Structure 1
Amino acid sequence: MPTLVMKFGGTSVANLDRIRRAAKRVGVEVAKGYDVIVIVSAMSGKTNELVGWVNETSPLHDAREYDAVVSSGENVTAGLMALTLQEMKVPARSWQGWQVPLMTNDAHSAARIEEIPSENITASFAEGMKVAVVAGFQGVSPKGRITTLGRGGSDTTAVAFAAAFEADRCDIYTDVDGVYTTDPRITSKARKLDKIAFEEMLELASLGAKVLQTRSVELAMRHKVKLRVLSSFEEQSDEAGTLVCDEEEIMESNVVSGVAYSRDEAKMTLISVADRPGIAAAIFGPLSESGVNVDMIVQNISEEGRTDMTFSCPVDQVTRAEKAMADAKASGDINYHDLVADTDVSKISVVGIGMRSHAGVAAKMFSSLHDEGINIKVITTSEIKISVLIDRKYMELAVQALHDAFELENAG
């Protein structure tokens, strides 16, 4: 039998009625002749509740016990989904990560998938099981301890299963009906895309679009897994949602496919740093070791052996970054005059594989922002992306202006 992977996020299994609705969708696919692997998240809000209990019990907690607690939400959903399917006379059973087993490394709370042996689930399919309901987000370490994959890890679980079982497709059911040109809450002109290339989706996911987790898109791109993003709250057709696929499957690429934003960014500038070989490593090494996710980097032209180094990071990592730089200065690894943090900026990005073959995208972007009186603080580019840092108060205006400038209301 062909295999299909269906993943249901927290809002899609938030209560028993929604689990029943999701189960009916699974039943439709079983009736088409598929063996189905269903990946479930915890019920909406449950993981946050569990994390809160852990932090209240032990602020400096053992990461292994953290994983034991927060993974339990998915176990509940998997069991309830299997029971619901059984009530519908669909042969189903639940699987926890260790039962598959989904093998990971031992980086608790941020584990990476290493292997998904298919033998156990395949044997159950051969014995008449039609649906394997797998608890997402979790696996088992080489030492036999429960691990979790980090927030949003159920998306990654789903794609990994689709790759391991060579599934026809991986359907991700969520509370939106596909991937949009930008956030519909910011502009009513946002349009759902029928198809989007892996590379574009990866950029949008990494730049703040919440539809898919970045690691899941990376995995899908590497293993050529066809991803479809669908709403669990709307009636479906074969053409519903957005298909995330190879660039070659898209007949006509838009120059720009979407506008992404990240609201809570910070711009940090080391003023008057000694300009010498290895200075970048001396700065960004300690930041990396401190867990600071550096994004945009700009170095000014050196004057008299001194330079300024600017970088961006999430605003909630500013304190960590300041401590890392202060420690590096105290140890003599770097020498700078001052560290200035601007915590009131946002990142706006335009993304599109069509940018490879079209000139003038940057000029149009900068002109559109200029027309709205928006000053650009930092610019970075890649082959299919241009990102800028601007004052946060202009974020929504910038998204709307760029959406209009690139006529994304006509995308689809």
Structure 2
Amino acid sequence: MSSHAIEIHGLGKQYRIKGNSTSSLLGKIARRNQEDSFWALKDLNYNLEQGKVLGVIGPNGAGKSTLLKLLSRITFPSAGKFTAHGRMSSLLEVGTGFHPELSGYDNIFLNGSILGMSKTEIKSALDEIIEFSGVENFIHMPVKHYSSGMKVRLAFSVAAHLTAEILLIDEVLAVGDASFQRKCIERMEDVSRHQGRTILFVSHNMRAVNDLCNEAIYIDGGQLVKSGTAEEITSFYNKSLEQRAISIDLADRKDREGTGSIQLQSMTFTDENGNPLSELRSGEPVTLEVKYAGSKAPTGLNVRLSIGRENDGFIGALSNSLAGNQFENLGTEGTLRCKLDKLPFMTGKYVVNARLTEHNIVTDDVKRAIVFEVKEGDYFGSGDLFSTERTGVYINQHWE
């Protein structure tokens, strides 16, 4: 019997991209010629030993979720093959397998069946599933009234109490609150170390990967770039972030207005320790570094960053003057930092128009100085995500 839980040989997934649709015959012929394709995952080879926990990390769009969908048989490979030795279960998306009109109780049986559990297995684990989920007070309520966090807690609880030998978990735990995330990590550690189950864990949380995983792989551009211990790969990932930082060089921009005595040089999003960020999430601490340079040391300098939607609409502004922060003893060049304890923007893409003024005289004005995208996050730490297709901001609030 093989010592490997999963054996992957040359696995790949190709998707076709079509040109613009048209109803004319010539247009259809032209569109057929315009068809292109890309490999979401290409020529991946890896063997995972039984009882190991593998972290799968990489930037957004790298192919991580595609790999798990292939292993879950949600989609079929375009090339290669894999062999799984043991029953496999997956938790890939929030609420997968839940029927909105059914209660949480009924959905345990529905979701468990989809994940491969028999009715007897579900009944034997029912009390433990409900207790672990923490939604026992709402277990007979239709899940359409559940928050995203409640759905994740219940879905993970079902998957975590499964008798499957192999468990695939995507980045769904980012929805839960910090205490429940810790609880999930501990549960996965338990089923791996004491029950000998094999886990594939996709995450952007490097601390969780280091705490949970024995080994890890780094995927980028649909290809396996590097494999090794969890510590080695998370270190490699962190270094790669510096090359993918949400940063813009403004020094050579010609489409700018103002006197030019003081100009913007660059803008970069960083974490609390000054490390460049490649991804922004609602509710997480972030710092925006603004570098400037001028012919003389500025006095009475004000930075005004007007933030709007990608296509239209002003949403808000960041300004040291607005915040009551006046700069003193500035040099002819330097770095100014705007620190946000919790990024207030909802999921979506945003544009920043940047302006520098000195004693209310515009020295530099750059439209679309930087464009950034915000990923879904738990701003209030409540586990309840406000899902919307429109961009916007969260407002700090307290209800009594």
User: Does the alignment reach a TM-score above 0.5?
Assistant: no
The structure with the greater share of residues assigned to helix is 1
Return the TM-score normalized by structure 2.
0.32
Return the TM-score normalized by structure 1.
0.31
Structure ID, larger Rg = 2
The structure with the greater share of residues assigned to strand is 2
